[in-house]
Amino acid sequence: MALNENFATVWEAIADTLGDAPALSHGPLTRTWAELDDRAARFAGAMADAGVGAGSDDGGAKVGMALYNGPAYTEATFGAFKARAVPFNVNYRYRESELAYLLSNADCEVVVAHPELVDLIEAIRADVPSLRLLVAVGDEIDGSPVGDLPDGWVHYEELLAASDPASRIERSGDDLWFLYTGGTTGMPKGVMWPHSSLLGVFGPTWKGLKVALPDTPAEAARVAAELRERGTEQRLIPAAPMMHGTSSQLTMGALSTGGHVVTLTSRSFDPAELWATVEDRSATHLCIVGDPFCRPMVVELETAEATGRPYDLTSLKVITSSGAMWSGPQKEALLARVPALLIDLLGSSEGNGFGASVARRGRSAGTARFQLGDDAAVFTEDGRRVEPGSGERGRLATGGHLPLGYYKDAAATDATYPTYEGRRWAVPGDFATVELDGTINLLGRGSVSINTAGEKVFPEEVEEATKSLAWVVDATVVGVPDETWGSAVTAVVSLGDGAPGDLTPDEALGSDAVGVPADAALLELVRTHVKEQLAAYKAPQHVVVVPAVMRGPNGKADYRWAGEVAASALG
C-alpha cells in the first residue's frame, strides 16, 4: 500500500527523525534536514502572511518556480506543500510572451525567481493579475541579496528571516503538484499530479534501496533512519534541470526516502563539475537526460584519464535517464569508465512506468528498445492491444498511479486519458511496436511525426540512424513543405571531426546564417547510411548543417527551432 499523504507531512516526519543529517548541498553549502524543514516552514509562513496558500477546491494557491537548480527550489517547493499550495515548474528560458501565458494559465499567485528572470516577470506582471507575492532569490551559497528590486518584490533570505515558521497542519494525499509540459509541439499544459499518485509511482525507489515500502509518515521516517544507519541512503545529483519532470520527480523520491540531494552550481551543464561533485560528495545516484548529457560526460572522463587525473567514481551506483534518446554506443562508452547500473526510463509529463531499459557491464545496452512496464500496454487507435510480434504500430499507454489530467483543459484530458478495457490509461502519443519477447521498440511522438508521400515517419528513429555516423555530433529531424512529398524529411545536423568535404560550420555559415544546406556528397552519405538501417522513404531528402543543434535545458529536441532553421536554409 502506497503512502496516501502530502509530501510535506512525510518530509516533516523524516526531518524530525534525521535532524542534523544532510538534506541539501550546493557547492560548499550543506543544509541539514532540520534546517530544510525550518526554512520551508518560514516560506509557508510568509505565504500565509501574504494571504495565499491554503488548499481549496482547485488545489490552492499556485506557486511558480522560476529557478535554476539549487536549495531554494526544494525549500520553496516544500514550503508550498506545507501550506497545501501547488508549486509548478517555470522554464527559465522562456521569454516575456511565454511567461505571460504560463503564469496566467496557472493562475499563479506566488513566483520565486532567480535574478535573470526578475525583469522578464516584471515586464509581464500587469498581464498576470493573480500575482500577489514575488520573491527574488540571490546567491544560494552565501545568501547575498539580488540588489535593487522592482517595487513589490522581496528578497528570499529577508523574507525567510522576517517570517515565523508556519504551524504544521493536517493535509491530504489529494493535494496537488503541477508539472507543465515543455510546449515543444503546442502550448504548455499543467499536468495535475496528486501527491498520493506520485508517492505511488516512487515505489521502486524504496525497492531499489532494499527496504520495505512505507505506508505512514512515521514508517517512512523509520526507514530513512535505517538507511542512514546502514550508510545506504540515496545521495542524488539531479544534473538535469529541476524545472523538468525527470530531476524534480527523482528529487522528491530521494527526499521521501530520507536522502541527500546535491545540486550543481553551474547555470549550464558542466561535466567537469558533475564528476568532481560525484567524487567530492560520494554521490550514489545521478540523473541525466540521454545523449545530450552523456556525450560530454564521456569526453570529460576521457580527458581526465589522459591527463592522469581520473575521477574516483566508486560511490556511484545508478545513473538514471529519461526525456531524450540515450543511445547504445553512448551507454557502452560510459560503462567502460563507470561501473554503475544505467536505467533508461520511458516516461512523460502525463505518466510514468511506460517502460525501462537497464544496462550494466556485460549486458548489452541498446537504443530505443525498452522492457514494457508492469502496468503498461500498447493500444491501437481503436483501443485494441497490439499483439507481440505483429509488427502493428500502436500508442504506448500506462495505468496505475496517474495524474488527474490537464489544468483547465478537459478536452485534452479526455484525449490523453482514455478508458480502455474498463480502466483509465495515460496515452500521451508515443508510438511503438511490440516484439515477440515483449519488449517495445519506441518509434516516436505522433505529434511530431512527418507525413511524407502518405507514409508516417517518426523523427526519433531517423535521428538515431543519422547520429550513428561517427562525424555527426547531433541531429534533429523535421518535415518541411514539399510539392512532391507533402513534407520532406529533413535532418538538421551539427558536424564533428572527420566530417567529409569542405562544409564546416565555421567556414560555411558566415556571421548571419543559422544553417546551410549540405552539399550533394554529404547529403548522399547521410541518405545512404540511413537507408542501410531504415526504409528508404525515411532517409532525409535534405540535410541542413548548423554550428550546434539547439535543445532544451533538459536535452529534449526543439522541433520548432529546427523547423524554422530548415525552412530558412532551404528557402
Tell me which amino acid residue 365 is.
A
Q: How far apart are CA 53 and CA 446, in angstroms?
A: 38
Instruction: Kindly tell me if the per-residue pLDDT of 511 is higher than 50.
Output: no
pLDDT at position 502 is 57
Instruction: Kindly tell me if the per-residue pLDDT of 507 is higher than 70.
Output: no
Pick the CATH number of 7-268 from 1.10.10.10, 2.60.40.420, 3.40.50.620, 3.40.50.980: 3.40.50.980
Pick the CATH number of 375-447 from 2.40.50.140, 2.30.38.10, 3.40.50.300, 3.40.50.2300: 2.30.38.10
Residues in the chain: 571
Q: What's the chain's average pLDDT? A: 92
Whether the CB-CB separation of 406 and 424 falls below 8 Å is answered with no
Q: Which of 118-127, 143-152, 217-226 has the lowest mean pLDDT?
A: 143-152
Give the residue carrying C-alpha cell 493535494.
Answer: 175
Backbone angles phi, psi at 2, to 5 degrees: -80, 160
Q: How far apart are CA 16 and CA 20, in angstroms?
A: 9
Give the residue carrying C-alpha cell 513589490.
Answer: 152
pLDDT at position 508 is 47
Q: How far apart are CA 315 and CA 267, in angstroms?
A: 25
Residue 263 in grid coordinates: 545540486
Reference 107, options 143, 57, 48; nearest CA is 57
pLDDT at position 499 is 86
**Better pLDDT: 186 or 322:** 322
Integer CA distances (angstroms), 191 to 23, 61, 111, in order: 27, 16, 18
Give per-residue pLDDT as tens, 397-426.
Answer: 999 899 999 999 999 999 999 999 999 999
Residue 547: other Cβ atoms inside 10 A: 15
Reference 22, options 238, 298, 255; nearest CA is 255
Residue 523: other Cβ atoms inside 10 A: 18
Reference 491, options 561, 425, 567, 543; nearest CA is 543
Give the residue carrying C-alpha cell 564528476.
Answer: 275
> In 3-state terms, what secondary structure has residue 98?
helix
End-to-end CA distance of the chain: 58
Q: How far apart are CA 496 and CA 401, in angstroms?
A: 43
pLDDT at position 513 is 55
pLDDT at position 535 is 81
Q: How far apart are CA 8 and CA 245, in angstroms?
A: 19
CATH class given for the domain over 449-571 = alpha beta
**Better pLDDT: 204 or 395:** 395
Q: How far apart are CA 517 and CA 55, in angstroms?
A: 55
Q: CATH 3.30.300.30 in the chain, residues?
A: 449-571
Q: How far apart are CA 25 and CA 261, in angstroms?
A: 6
Whether the CB-CB separation of 33 and 19 falls below 8 Å is answered with yes
Backbone angles phi, psi at 52, to 5 degrees: -130, 155
Torsion of CA 15, 19, 25, 30, to 10 degrees: 150
Pick from 49-53, 255-259, 351-355, 447-451 the range whose average pLDDT is largest: 255-259
> What is the rounded average pLDDT of the residues 98-127?
96
Give the single-character DSSP code of 282: T
pLDDT at position 401 is 95
* DSSP states along 313-374: -TT--EEEE-SS---HHHHHHHHTT--PEEEEEEEETTEEEEEEEEEBTTB---SSEEEEPT
> What is the rounded average pLDDT of the residues 486-498?
91
Whether the CB-CB separation of 335 and 342 falls below 8 Å is answered with yes
Give per-residue pLDDT as tens, 299-321.
Answer: 999 999 999 999 999 999 999 99
Reference 55, options 86, 77, 9, 89; nearest CA is 86
Q: CATH 2.30.38.10 in the chain, residues?
A: 375-447
Q: CATH 3.40.50.980 in the chain, residues?
A: 7-268
Give the single-character DSSP code of 128: -
Share of the chain above pLDDT 90, in %: 75
Residue 358 in grid coordinates: 537497464
Give per-residue pLDDT as tens, 41-60.
Answer: 999 999 999 999 665 556 79
Give per-residue pLDDT as tens, 337-395.
Answer: 999 999 999 989 999 999 999 999 888 767 768 999 999 999 998 999 999 999 999 99
pLDDT at position 58 is 60
Instruction: Kindly tell me if the per-residue pLDDT of 443 is higher than 90.
Output: no
> What is the rounded average pLDDT of the residues 18-41?
99
